[in-house]
Amino acid sequence: MTYLKFSDEHARIYETYHRIDSMNTVVCLARMPELGKVKARIAATEGAARAFEIYVELVRRCRDLLEQVDHRYEVEVTLSEPFDFIKAQTYFGNRPFFSQQASGDLGQRMCVAAIRAFQSGARKVVLIGSDCPALTPEHLSQAFHTLDNRQVVLGPAADGGYYLLGMTRVVPDLFAGFAWGTDSVYAETTARLRADEISYGELPKLADVDTIEDWKRLGL
């Protein structure tokens, strides 16, 4: 009996075509949970230990979300600093593949994450963070369906930013010149899309967690 033996090159080609066939990629931009390095606004009022505790819970909920994502989609977690792969799996699970974010501000890091996903064969890319516990697999599916007939999809956050950004191509104007972390980001983003005549859809407004008040408001 003759057995087919896969070389490293065969495996690479198989993986490439598997990823291209999936067409849709969810990319979660996150930090590894480390004491003193997460949720600075919560740490400023509640202390680093409480901020760490809250962030670990947010990551746990994010892990649950990623594990439930439609298995036709690729799932990536891109981390802001060098990381230990085993530790990353401990926090974010076995479903995602992992990468390190580019340097720069939030806009630059999101832009590079989207470019990498498209270069890997994705036709639609949805970027999310790890701090919106109300986000569900259904919201992600809705985002991808919206991209069937829109170029961009946005999930507005209650604080004036957004918890999700999806696209069928990289739109450079969405990643530069914003005052990230302020309540003007969503309005400025949609204004630019209209000015550039880029079609977009919107998901339901959800709350993310940046402050202890956000956390308490969600009753978590």
C-alpha span between 196 and 51 (Å, rounded): 39
CATH number at residue 111: 3.90.550.10
- Decide if 74 contacts 57 (C-beta within 8 A): no
Q: Which residues of 175-188 are buried (b: 16+ CB within 10 A; e: fewer)?
A: beebeeeeeebbee
Q: What pTM was estimated for this model as a whole?
A: 0.88
Residue 7 lies in a domain: no
Other Cβ atoms within 10 Å of 213 Cβ, number? 12
pLDDT, residue 4, reads 37
User: Which residue range is the domain that position 165 belongs to?
Assistant: 22-218
pLDDT, residue 83, reads 87
What Å distances lie between residue 195 and 48, 111, 190, 199, 200, CA to CA? 42, 20, 9, 10, 12
Residue 56 lies in a domain: yes
Residue 16 lies in a domain: no
Residue 14 lies in a domain: no
Handedness of CA 73, 145, 62, 101 (dihedral sign): positive
Residue 9 lies in a domain: no
Token digits of residue 71: 């298995």
Residue 190 lies in a domain: yes
pLDDT, residue 22, reads 53
Backbone angles phi, psi at 132, to 5 degrees: -125, 85
CB-based contacts of 44, cutoff 8 Å, min separation 6: none
Residue 36 lies in a domain: yes
- Structurally, the chain folds into a number of domains equal to 1
CB-based contacts of 121, cutoff 8 Å, min separation 6: 16, 19, 20, 22, 23
CB-based contacts of 175, cutoff 8 Å, min separation 6: 107, 108, 110, 111
pLDDT in tens, the chain (220 residues): 333 333 444 344 334 444 444 589 999 999 999 999 999 999 999 999 999 999 999 999 999 999 999 999 999 999 998 889 999 999 999 999 999 999 999 999 999 999 999 999 999 999 999 999 999 999 999 999 999 999 999 999 999 999 999 999 999 999 999 999 899 999 999 999 999 999 999 999 999 999 999 999 988 7
Grouping H, G, I as helix, E, B as strand and the rest as coil, residue 24 is strand
Residue 211 lies in a domain: yes
Backbone angles phi, psi at 131, to 5 degrees: -120, 30
